A and B are shown apart, each in its own frame.
Chain A
């Protein structure tokens, strides 16, 4: 029987099927960070049980770390305490730990792939909903809660009902200035913030086939924002060439063996999906959100839709617009921007900084805009320096910060002040997400750059030179 890529990977990881219950599901790789792991380790202590396979878990500090002066002791005692707990727990159980100051440190969903820890056909979990990022490699990857972190530490398994399957096919040539982030925001705006709840999504079609690994990671990252547990893209030559030579990727004969397996990881013709969507890539514009969930997105030249077109109840819709200080039928172009944030597990990779710099080059930062540029990892930071991007950014009046989750969730000091408008390349525009009272508009690195140099919401296509596709 023809089967899907998702079925192939899922079914090969079921240790046991429980009648009328979840599957006992084996996890190949487990990432942990400082915020959602401490209570899981306490649980192990209380039960007096050990970590079953410490070599399958990787720890990095990211959610709560400062993005300036990382060489100094962390000022906030609670944050320092969490970072210390991660370090202590990792050392106690023999788990590899890339803490603050380590040259490999960075956001968990950036460092996993860039070091070759994430591989096709794996099952990957982390106590973070954006674990869906790793699906870009043809892995089944999703976020879990702290109780499940404790399960994985103690037994390398979780109890998981198998999700339903959805496929979204996007074909066609993307227009000028349309990036993977726009494709993601477009799909979410079509399906709504809950449109894929209960499903795991395979992304298919030439738009994804022609995308870089960084782009596929951006798309899979945002799967959770339409409610899906995760997204997956079939591995191909783009995947294999990205992985070849990465530090933890297989080498020599191991590589050949792995490659032969990876090439089997695709959906068979005629395989069944519970739900299918097809979209036209040529119709996608640079996107921006206007509301307080990621489903409230629109083409940048459009107008804020009326409640009836937006899908949610009138009361929820109006609450959302009131929070943002916007009126229905408003256009977004020309709206004042106070902050710009480029970074996060969604758009904190080298390709994102290249895109940002392509617009900034030869221009200056707009007055009255505060711009936070936060690389996803030290490796990304190093690439930014080596490729000369830092020079372009510095010349334009920008400063690069140090890696971490930063203003995406504003757990550290990087908080957008109350009432201020931020164009953010991150993943969530919830009320207060980037700081109490903050107003977030999600967009691509190109839209962020256009706002950073003009001080208002600007169509990036107007700033891209004609000779660039």
Chain B
């Protein structure tokens, strides 16, 4: 599925200083029954965000109107657990384009890159600085610069580089996906397949 190109994102951020945010929290399994990619944002963090009767849980960060923006900042080991791409869809569909953490689970990171969310891995001290900056001023803005591979706390000018592999970076900058690439390689794959053991 095509997604919008990602170049430079300037936005406020939503803080979630919790470790090991697993994909069952991001989207519980009972909301995985759709056969289309529609409406997952409504159930993002469902059981942290709503009571069983559907009323909002007031002290959850997504229900606090002070915090908004296209950047979600989470604690270490963000996205662990199930491979459900629905977790990345829910984050994207809610309106986030970037998730920042000091450490991501592998499958979640891959899924995010495949659908146009940029996972930005920062050092643990820099993550603390981000949380501190948001706590001091929820309207503080951050710049995620993909061409330069940097994240900046605009209020203080503090900056850190992040790593992304060149191929995935080009995809995000141009809005390409892997299927286009693989379709262009089909002859090569066909001939490879004839030489495999199975």
Task: List A residues at the B interface (Cβ < 8 Å).
Answer: 12-13, 15-16, 18-22, 24, 26, 28-29, 35-36, 38-39, 42-43, 46-47, 49, 52-53, 63-64, 76, 78-79, 81-82, 85, 119, 121-122, 127-129, 131, 143-148, 150-151, 154-159, 161, 163, 193-194, 197-198, 224, 227, 229, 258, 261, 292-293, 312-313, 315-316, 319, 409-411, 418, 428, 430-433, 436-437
- Contact across chains for A36 and B22 when beta carbons are under 8 A apart: no
**A147 to B, closest residue via Cβ:** B114
Instruction: List, in ascending order, chain B residues with CB within 8 A of A156's CB.
Output: 189, 193
Residues from chain B with Cβ under 8 Å of A159 in the complex: 167, 178, 181-182
Contacts A22-B165, A159-B167 supplied; 9 other A-B pairs, CB < 8 Å:
A20-B165, A22-B168, A35-B32, A155-B183, A155-B189, A158-B178, A227-B77, A312-B19, A436-B28
B85 / chain A contacts, CB cutoff of 8 Å: 36, 39, 127, 145-147
CA distance A154 to B178 in the complex (A): 11
A194 and B36 contacting across the interface, CB-CB below 8 Å: no
Say yes or no: A24 contacts B183, CB within 8 Å: no
Chain A: CB-nearest residue to B168: A21
Q: Min CB distance, A167 to chain B, in Å?
A: 18
B24, CB-defined interface residue at 8 Å: yes
Secondary structure of the A contact surface, majority rule: loop
Query: B188's closest neighbor in chain A, by CB?
Result: A15
Q: Known contacts A145-B110, A194-B76, A430-B22: does B33 contact A64 (CB below 8 Å)?
A: yes
B12 within 8 A of partner (CB): no
Q: Which of A52, A85, A129 contacts B81 (CB 8 A)?
A: A129
Asked whether, in the complex, the Cβ of A316 is within 8 Å of the Cβ of B19, the reply is yes
Q: Once bound together, how far apart are the Cα atoms of A123 and B82, in whole Å?
A: 20
- For the complex, give the distance between the alpha carbons of A319 and B196 in Å: 50
Q: Are B167 and A38 in contact (CB under 8 A)?
A: no
Query: Is the Cβ of B36 less than 8 Å from the Cβ of A20?
Result: no
Q: Does B111 make an interface contact (CB < 8 A)?
A: yes
Partner of A411 from B29, B168, B196 at Cβ < 8 Å: B29
Q: Given A16-B185, A155-B183, A227-B105, do A316 and B18 touch, yes or no (CB 8 Å)?
A: yes
Distance of A143 Cα from B82 Cα, bound (Å): 9
CB neighbours (8 Å) of A198 from chain B are: 106
Residue of B nearest to A84 (CB): B35
CA distance A318 to B62 in the complex (A): 22
- Find the B residue at minimum CB distance from A143: B83
Known: A38-B36, A39-B37. A26 touches B182 (CB 8 A): no
Q: Residue on A with the closest CB to B78?
A: A194
Closest beta carbon of chain B to A89's beta carbon, Å: 10
CB-CB < 8 A to A144: which residues of B?
Answer: 83, 107, 110
Nearest-CB residue, chain B, relative to A85: B35
Q: Are A36 and B83 in contact, with the CB atoms below 8 A?
A: yes
Inter-chain contact A28/B189, CB cutoff 8 Å = no
21 contacts between A and B (CB under 8 A): A20-B167, A24-B185, A26-B189, A28-B198, A36-B84, A38-B34, A38-B36, A78-B33, A145-B107, A147-B179, A148-B178, A163-B106, A227-B77, A227-B80, A292-B20, A293-B20, A293-B22, A428-B81, A428-B82, A430-B22, A436-B52
A227 pairs with B188, CB closer than 8 A? no
CA of A259 to CA of B17 in the docked complex: distance in angstroms?
Answer: 51
* Candidates A21, A42, A258; contact of B167 at CB < 8 Å: A21
Residue of A nearest to B20 (CB): A293
Complex interface: chain B residues within 8 A of A16 (CB): 185, 188
10 residue pairs, one from A and one from B, having the closest CB atoms? A21-B167, A145-B85, A20-B166, A145-B111, A143-B83, A78-B33, A147-B114, A155-B182, A38-B35, A194-B77
Taking the nearest CB of chain B, how far is it from the CB of A260, in angstroms?
11
Contact: A127 with B83, CB < 8 Å?
yes
Give the distance in Å from the alpha carbon of A312 to the alpha carbon of B114 in the complex: 29
Smallest CB-CB separation from A312: which chain B residue? B19
Contacts of B75 in A (CB 8 A): 313, 316
> Within 8 Å CB of A155, what residues of B?
179, 182-183, 185-186, 189
Q: Say if the beta carbon of B90 comes within 8 Å of chain A.
A: no
- A244 to B52 alpha-carbon distance, docked (Å): 51
Nearest Cβ distance between residue A199 and chain B, in whole angstroms? 9
| Minimum CB distance partner of B181 in chain A | A159
Minimum CB–CB distance from B114 to chain A (whole Å) comes to 4
- Contact at A81–B80, with CB atoms within 8 Å? no
